């Protein structure tokens, strides 16, 4: 990617963060001014000498508040962890890989406490307003990450995704968010929500930047991204659950998007997905996420539960009653459904569905615990499918026409990340 001076772009990013009328104070919790300037100057010096560390060299990045940085307490959006935590001994592996690729890391971004919400609210550090409408939620849990990208505070933001936490805020803020096949990118050094479901992914204004960041974090060669030919591409439109209760905006834009893809040459098939009903039944019996999250936080809940966001605390407490036998059954049930879904998708290049069934709710629409839980469940509903079935997924912004952002989501089989990026690059051109 051709870029101007890294130092110049860094200065512009800091100016956006420092703007008193903007969301910088809420979106970015830690700033690395001196370190970022040194990294940008080093990238510019390499460029002048004709040396490059790769396609990410000199890119301006932020990282979510749950990644370890040597010498710092990892807060994970929590004032309690900020108070009690021990400084990290070393950078998280993904942070080390990003630095080695020449990325300029300028900030840590705000998030839902412990990454346990799809809406992005944070009572401890404030909630950054949605760039499309500051009275609306940004989506979560990678809330500050999406706002930072959409508001020009960075070019790429690194988040985590346990049930949609890169893709939900990307969709609600009008940018691109990617969830890799979980095993490709190391999650060590990222404060956990669910050992089974956590994955690490990038957010940016375009597919190519996500592709470059993903390659660096996965330790793969950063090759040029070539769009797949759309003609004859087999896209399955998921029927049933993913299309239920769409709001007016999503209900209008999603069919319009399908029509444009079909006119561009994609071959659409409308797929009944009884496996999604099986997933919902399994989740209603036992939540792997709830059990693991409670395990991570049980001592903290007992000691200082009042210091935790009370909505997050209530969700964590739900894991207390899950028996070991039920957890083991849930893990085994999921493994069987993963195999079934992999076989189900074998004849498709990608599955297509709305990223979220609704646009970003207003802050006053999620002010009570009951309203919060209802909206939170809605925004997580479709994205969770990829995490449960261990797929790779990406959310692309649909044309807004002056309205609120919505996202188009593509799923592909585990391990087919590169193919999904090529498909996403082609789909992106359709809506450019």
Q: What is the DSSP string of 268-289?
A: EEEE--HHHHHHHHHHHH--HH
Give the other-Cβ count within 10 Å of 71's Cβ: 10
Active site residue 64: yes
Candidate list 78, 117, 142, 165, residue with the active-site label:
165
DSSP 8-state secondary structure symbol assigned to residue 370: H
The DSSP secondary structure of 180-208, one letter per residue, reads: --GGGS--TTB--S-TTT-EEEEEESSHH
194 counts as catalytic: no
Q: Single out the catalytic residue among 62, 64, 142, 199.
A: 64
Helix (H) or strand (E) run with residue 351 in it = strand 350-354
Matching residue, tokens 């569905």: 353
Tell me the sheet residues that pair with 408. 354, 396
The reply to whether 160 belongs to the active site is no
For residues 353 and 251, the answer to whether their CB atoms sit within 8 Å is no
**Active-site pick, 62, 112, 117, 141:** 141
The first and second tokens of residue 422, run together, are 């090529």
Instruction: Give the whole-angstrom CA distance, residue 97 versus residue 94.
Output: 5
Longest dimension (CA), the chain: 61
Measure the CA angle with vertex 404, ends 402 and 410; round to 5°: 115
Residue 29 contacts residue 109 (beta carbons within 8 Å): yes
Taking the C-alpha atoms of residue 101 and residue 241, their distance in angstroms, rounded to an integer, is 41
Phi-psi map region of 240: left, alpha, beta (phi>0 left; psi -120 to 50 alpha): left
- 144 close to 111: Cβ distance less than 8 angstroms: yes
Point out the residues that are catalytic: 64, 141, 165
């Amino acid at each position: 990617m051709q870029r101007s001076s890294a130092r110049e772009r860094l200065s512009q990013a800091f100016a956006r963060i420092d703007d008193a009328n903007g969301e910088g104070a809420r979106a970015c919790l830690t700033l690395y001014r001196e370190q970022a300037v040194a990294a940008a100057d080093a990238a510019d010096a390499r460029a002048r000498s004709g040396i490059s560390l790769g396609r990410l060299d000199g890119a301006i990045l932020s990282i979510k508040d749950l990644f370890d940085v040597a010498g710092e307490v990892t807060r994970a959006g929590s004032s309690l962890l900020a108070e009690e935590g021990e400084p990290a001994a070393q950078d998280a592996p993904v942070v080390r890989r990003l630095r080695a690729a020449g990325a300029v890391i300028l900030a840590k971004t705000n998030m839902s406490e412990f990454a346990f919400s799809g809406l992005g609210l944070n009572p401890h550090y404030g909630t950054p307003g949605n760039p499309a409408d500051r009275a609306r939620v940004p989506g979560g849990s990678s809330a500050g990450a999406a706002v930072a990208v959409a508001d020009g505070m960075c070019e790429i933001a690194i988040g985590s995704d346990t049930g949609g936490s890169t893709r939900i805020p990307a969709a609600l803020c009008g940018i691109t968010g990617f969830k890799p096949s979980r095993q490709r990118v190391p999650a060590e050094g990222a404060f956990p929500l669910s050992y089974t479901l956590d994955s690490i992914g990038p957010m940016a204004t375009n597919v190519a930047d996500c592709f470059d960041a993903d390659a660096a974090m996965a330790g793969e060669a950063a090759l040029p991204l070539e769009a797949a030919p759309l003609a004859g591409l087999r896209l399955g439109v998921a029927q049933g659950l993913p299309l239920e209760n769409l709001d007016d905006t999503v209900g209008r834009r999603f069919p319009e998007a399908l029509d444009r893809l079909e006119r561009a040459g994609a071959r659409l098939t409308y797929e009944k997905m009884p496996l999604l009903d099986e997933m919902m039944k399994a989740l209603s019996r036992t939540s792997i996420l709830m059990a693991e999250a409670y395990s991570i936080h049980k001592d903290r809940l007992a000691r200082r539960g009042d210091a935790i966001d009370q909505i997050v605390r209530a969700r964590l407490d739900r894991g207390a009653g899950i028996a070991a036998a039920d957890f083991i059954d849930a893990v085994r049930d999921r493994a069987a459904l993963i195999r079934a879904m992999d076989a189900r998708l074998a004849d498709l290049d990608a599955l297509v569905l709305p990223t979220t069934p609704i646009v970003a709710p207003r802050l006053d629409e999620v002010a009570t615990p009951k309203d919060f839980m209802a909206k939170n469940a809605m925004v997580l509903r479709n994205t969770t499918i990829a995490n449960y079935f261990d797929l790779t997924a990406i959310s692309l912004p649909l044309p807004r026409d002056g309205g609120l952002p919505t996202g188009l989501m593509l799923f592909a089989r585990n391990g087919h990340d590169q193919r999904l990026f090529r498909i996403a690059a082609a789909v992106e051109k359709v809506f450019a």
